[in-house]
Amino acid sequence: MANMTKTTESAAPASPATAPDTTAATPASKPAMRMTRARADAIFAERMARHRDELRWLYMELYDNGDMFAELCDGLKRFFDERDNKLKKLDLAREEAGAWYRATNMLGMQMYIDNFAGTIKGVEKNLPYIERCGVNYIHLMPFLDTPADKSRSDGGYAVSDFRRVNPALGTMDDLAHLASKCHARGISLCMDFVMNHTSDEHEWARRARAGEGEYMSRYFFVRDQGIIDRYTRDVPQVFPTTAPGHFTYLPELDQCVMTQFYPYQWDLNYRNPRVFNEMMYNFLFLANQGIDIIRIDAVPYIWKQLGTNCRNLKQVHTIVRMMRMIGEIVCPGIVLLGEVVMAPVEVAPYFGTVEKPECHMLYNVTTMATTWNTVATRDARLLRQQTDIVCSLPRSYTFLNYLRCHDDIGWGLDYGTLSTWGMAEVPHKAYLNDYFQGHTPGSVSRGELYNADPVTGDARFCATTASMCGIEAAGFEGDDEAMEVAIRKDIMLHAYMFTQSGLPIIYSGDEVGQVNDYTYKDDPEKAEDSRYIHRGAFDWRLAENIDGPGSVQQRIFNALRTLEDIRRSEPVFSADADVRTKNYDDASILWIVRSFGDRTLHAVFNFSDDAKTIWMPEAAAYTDLVAGTTAEVATVDMPSWGFAWMLR
């Protein structure tokens, strides 16, 4: 990745200062005493005693209903008793290991079951490939039962039954079997838990539509147009162009029901303790199938309060805190991953506090968007600032880092800072969208807009990592030189992601450079949703090419495996490392310094179309972690879109 100016050289890297953090994704426990009923009861009692007072305080503060709290406690014991002994032992091992999800050997992959392997059984069959990718954390995109009409499933986020797998993908038994096989291989499973709403075909919704008061109280029904107008005034719309408004009229009831996302997704009323209890039972049921990481979808939206913007309210944190304690009582081996797509100042509170934690992990959303902003502008100043903000947070805060995911890219950048550099929000967003569509001179990116608003000009962007890096364009044009640069850019961005503290996750297909899939336009149920451009079926022909010397797939796959192996073996990538950026007078250079023990890593990234010569802080012996060589180094030569990992 870089050519070093050197005077002496040795073949072996310097020895690490301390042993690397290689805690397994599914830690093996010490020989444990047999999980008898008496021992299990004692474990549950101890955990309940640890959390009961706070849990009751928060529950009563929210609901003031002792009977429902007593029912909840009985439910926790019931789900604990139903939890498989193997999972209970895994819980004990993970409790002993501590924050197992922070280990440097963790690497995730996000995938749609049907796109990757057809069914849950297909995923199980392809576990050897997942292992070959170095992956030990699989995020299975929504797989619970949804309306048969795919145009009303929202990609699986309109759940009709929280305890039934979409029949096209398999059964709940298939899921539990997959989890068991994954655990045997040291692989963890993640799933989406949609707490904010249900499908309008969920049993609760059907009974509410029939006029049953008990079930109507689980949603928000309104006749008063004044209330609807107040809500519309104060609450931003989620999808103003594809699903405008906040309520959907039901003629059979002559009332409106709250639908913040889509008309077929009815928002749940967490003011009703029955909703909270039942959703916690669903959460525990899914955890008992062997799920290790529960991704809480749309966390900030859960609590609604008239007169507010219905985002990030205090009650949301109360609910997440109670959910954290409920997990620690019944299934402490699981991890809560919060989906909070907001600025860092609004994201960080969802970690809670050291004394009262909430989510174990959160998405590093702003850094992802700022990374692509840096690609388009060749200006790393904002990314440097964003990296410093994240690094200034407590080290116990664990972020999930990614380049691309199932969703679009929203340009939620720090426009206050950008404006001081002459970049106004509206024209800058327009520039980014033009650049990544390939409309700007010099752009090699290809992709499409999502949810474009013709009035405001605002839009989001969709594409795969490979297409945004230029691999699609270079392949279409048959330009070998452009392909060389595109591959280098793709690898550099992954190296940057691996340099960040937290858990890195790859979107399925990125490991083989899979490009945009435009065939979604031929499917009437998908044609209006451009996010399907990067949700195409995994191309197993590309996977076959990873053994083909010199192929695009082989070069990307092997490079990522090399980076993953280095990250796993070097203590300087520990979650406990000190991380900061280094000021450098070239705006296109991002320089990150990681220090752990007596070792320091200089990770330097060239966000530029030009080759660069980088001056090290001092001439000294450095190990080029990618090349595996140690030399006396004063400067490092990097090609365009290159990087260097230099360890001292």
CB-based contacts of 487, cutoff 8 Å, min separation 6: 469, 471, 513, 552, 555, 556
Q: Is residue 636 part of a domain?
A: yes
Check whether 291 has a pLDDT greater than 70. Answer: yes
Average pLDDT value for the chain: 92
CA distance 31 to 33: 7
The answer to whether the CB of 157 falls within 8 A of the CB of 112 is no
Number of structural domains the chain divides into: 2
CA distance 181 to 138: 12
Is 297 among the catalytic positions?
yes
Half-sphere exposure for 467 (CA within 13 Å, toward CB): 22
Of the candidates 124, 145, 200, 297, the residue annotated as catalytic is 297
Q: Measuring CA to CA, which residue among 334, 307, 335, 304 is closest to residue 319?
A: 304
Check whether 8 has a pLDDT greater than 60. Answer: no
Q: Is residue 130 part of a domain?
A: no
Last residue of a domain, one of 267, 301, 322: 267
pLDDT tens per residue across span 208-244: 999 999 999 999 999 999 999 999 999 998 888 778 8
**Residue owning tokens 């509206």:** 426
DSSP 236-261: --SBTTTB-SSEEEETTTTEEEE-SS
pLDDT of residue 4: 40
pLDDT tens per residue across span 626-645: 999 999 999 999 999 999 99
Q: Is residue 589 part of a domain?
A: yes
- 22-36, 376-390, 442-456, 469-483 — which is least confidently predicted? 22-36
CB-based contacts of 70, cutoff 8 Å, min separation 6: none
Q: Is residue 58 part of a domain?
A: no
What CATH number is associated with residue 635?
2.60.40.1180
Q: How confident is the model at residue 5 (pLDDT cuts 50, 70, 90)?
A: very low
As a whole number, mean pLDDT of residues 25-45 equals 72
Check whether 7 has a pLDDT greater than 50. Answer: no
Task: List the domain range (segments joined by +) for residue 635.
Answer: 3-20+572-647
Q: Is residue 393 part of a domain?
A: no
pLDDT of residue 20: 37
Query: Beta-strand (E) ranges in 131-234?
Result: 137-140, 144-145, 161-165, 188-194, 197-199, 221-222
Last residue of a domain, one of 220, 250, 267: 267
Q: How confident is the model at residue 279 (pLDDT cuts 50, 70, 90)?
A: very high
Which three-class secondary structure string do you get for 452-475?
Answer: CCCCCCCCEEECCHHHHHCHHHHH
Q: Among residues of the chain, what percentage have pLDDT more than 90?
A: 87
Of the candidates 21, 200, 339, 624, the residue annotated as catalytic is 339
pLDDT tens per residue across span 124-183: 999 999 999 999 999 999 999 999 888 888 889 999 999 999 999 999 999 999 999 999
Q: Is residue 600 part of a domain?
A: yes
pLDDT tens per residue across span 564-607: 999 999 999 999 999 999 999 999 999 999 999 999 999 999 99
What CATH number is associated with residue 220?
3.90.400.10
Is 46 among the catalytic positions?
no
CA distance 266 to 464: 31
- 7-21, 207-221, 553-567 — which is least confidently predicted? 7-21
Q: Is residue 522 part of a domain?
A: no
pLDDT of residue 16: 33
Q: Measuring CA to CA, which residue among 372, 365, 371 is closest to residue 348?
A: 365
pLDDT of residue 238: 87
Last residue of a domain, one of 212, 242, 267: 267
Check whether 207 has a pLDDT greater than 90. Answer: yes
Check whether 554 has a pLDDT greater than 50. Answer: yes
Please tell me whether the overall predicted TM-score, pTM, comes out greater than 0.85 for this model: yes
Check whether 27 has a pLDDT greater than 70. Answer: no
Q: How confident is the model at residue 314 (pLDDT cuts 50, 70, 90)?
A: very high
Q: How confident is the model at residue 26 (pLDDT cuts 50, 70, 90)?
A: low
Q: Is residue 380 part of a domain?
A: no
